[in-house]
Amino acid sequence: MSKNLLDIDLELIYKAQEIARYCLETIPAYLKSGISREEIHKLCEELMLSKGSTGWWTHGDAALILYGPYLTYSAHEDPQHLFEELLVSDNDVITIDVAPMFGIGWGDMTRTYAIENGVCVPWEQSTNQELITGMNLEYELHELLLKTVNNDTTFADIHKMTTKVLEQKGYYNCDYHGNFGHSIEIHPDNRVTIIPEETKVISKYGKPITYEPHICKIGSSIGIKYENMYMIKNGHLELI
């Protein structure tokens, strides 16, 4: 791939990620008890379309939404059938993973939200200590990623680092593939994932990656996910 084509692709990716960020920063105002998965999904679509999204890269679906007893759900299939009669409760946790496209550029971002007494509150203000502990761990993992990834880091290195921290803290990986993220491509089937067997050097691969630990404390049912997109520049990982 020529440098010019790569630059053009990155511009589209940046735009798609701006759309994802806008959606997830705006949606809390609409989250409340009694709302359905379909209503949340429609709101996500409308917010991203209003900012110019041209489609959805993952299974043609705008957003993966989890709450209630299904916060650890992970599978290839969309879990829509699980939520047919399940509304968000007065005290709940909601995870939203959005996948907007801008041309051939992908956006990919996930946030987890707290519902307290029927309304969405910042997770730091939640009374759910398990949520607070899990979110602090997510932030710790992302900070560790930024500090440790360099020009020599492989996808497998990130998996090993993340797994070690989770084991030390008493958490497990909910992802059904066992990965913690993937490369950003034009075609979803070409993704390179953060798994133990993937020895490609990230900087030599030359594409953005997502980091999206979907984690749960052992013995709990509160799955938590926090996803950002990153790119190695000048030997260091930077947030997109």
pLDDT tens digits, residue range 124-183?
999 999 999 999 999 999 999 999 999 999 999 999 999 999 999 999 999 999 999 999
Burial 32-67, CB ≥16 within 10 A → b, else e: bbebebebbbebbbebbeebebeebbbeebbbbbbb
- Specify the number of domains making up the chain: 1
What does the alpha-carbon distance between residue 211 and residue 239 come to, in Å, rounded to a whole number? 10
∠ CA 209-214-218, rounded to 5°: 145
Q: Is the Cβ–Cβ distance between 182 and 208 less than 8 Å?
A: no
Structural domain harbouring 113: 3-239
Q: Is the Cβ–Cβ distance between 145 and 237 less than 8 Å?
A: yes
Q: What is the pLDDT of residues 16-55, one digit of tens each?
A: 999 999 999 999 999 999 999 999 999 999 999 999 999 9
Strands of 38-128 (E only): list them. 55-56, 63-67, 92-98, 100-102, 105-106, 109-116, 119-121
Q: For the domain that residue 46 is a member of, what is the CATH number? A: 3.90.230.10
Element (H, E) at 20: helix 3-26
pLDDT at 75: 86
What does the alpha-carbon distance between residue 195 and residue 199 come to, in Å, rounded to a whole number? 9
Entry pTM: 0.94
Whether residue 2 has pLDDT greater than 60: no
Where residue 205 falls among pLDDT bands split at 50, 70, 90?
A: confident
Of the candidates 187, 190, 163, the one whose C-alpha atom is nearest the C-alpha of residue 175 is 163
Rounded to an integer, the average pLDDT of 185-206 is: 93
What does the alpha-carbon distance between residue 208 and residue 214 come to, in Å, rounded to a whole number? 19
Of the candidates 137, 134, 32, the one whose C-alpha atom is nearest the C-alpha of residue 92 is 32
Q: What is the pLDDT of residues 46-97, one digit of tens each?
A: 999 999 999 999 888 999 999 999 999 998 778 888 998 999 999 999 999 9
What does the alpha-carbon distance between residue 57 and residue 161 come to, in Å, rounded to a whole number? 28
DSSP alpha helix (H) spans, 96-225: 129-148, 155-169, 202-205
